[in-house]
Structure 1
């Protein structure tokens, strides 16, 4: 089985990745990182050439997936990837949002929690004052 983590370049994304590595190691499973920010290029994903995109972390095999470059909906692409992969667990980072922010923009985390075909672990970044 495989664990799927939605990672972004944020504190929440880093917390999700850290939790995903720990969970994959605990379960003896591979890890697939879905890059929500679309910050890597196909050749970097395939080769694992970038230091930020290793193919193994703490004894866990890591591979990467990108959202569809024609799509504007990274969350929908993550859910499609989860549907195709059938992971044992999906891990996402979450952050506090104001009521107005939720109303105007919706909640990606809520969409994943409600529509995912696998259990979802929502991880928040450590609070720092």
Structure 2
């Protein structure tokens, strides 16, 4: 696989797990990696919007791998799923990687709205990653 891997990133255990897996997939397949971070509906005041320090750390880690990469921090007002899907379409992505939260038995009946929309609407393969359980 060559092409582009797009990952939806938020500063959380699930976001970090998705980023690490996307990075591994890009290295394994010689793909470009595009990291997408956005706040809730593009609002950069929400906790899901990564800090400048988070973005610097991601860029530094990717530069060390030698991967062709880009980091997109969107503020256009789109929902996270819409932004991930938009970037995937623009980049002609071959894979999207998203993080999944642990759910209660009732919560397992429904996926989160972001992950559900990406899984249903993506034009390419989607890999859903869970964060490792705390011990």
TM, length-normalised to structure 1: 0.79
User: Equivalents in 1 of 2:112, 2:30: separation in Å?
Assistant: 35
Q: Is the 8 A contact 1:86 1:117 kept in 2?
A: no
Note the residue ranges of structure 1 that are not aligned, 5 or more in a row.
Answer: none
Asked if 1 retains the 8 angstrom alpha-carbon contact of 2:11 and 2:49, the reply is no
| Structural RMSD (CA) | 2.5
More helix by share: 2
Give the structure 2 partner of residue 63 of structure 1: 70
SS of equivalent residue, structure 1 residue 56: helix
TM normalised by structure 2 equals 0.76
Q: Give 1:90's aligned residue.
A: 96
Contact 2:99/2:130 (8 A) holds in 1: yes
Residue segments in structure 2 that go unaligned for 5+ positions in a row: 39-47
Q: Deviations over 1:26-74 (max 9, x none)?
A: 1011110001333256xx9xxx7x234325242322211122x241512
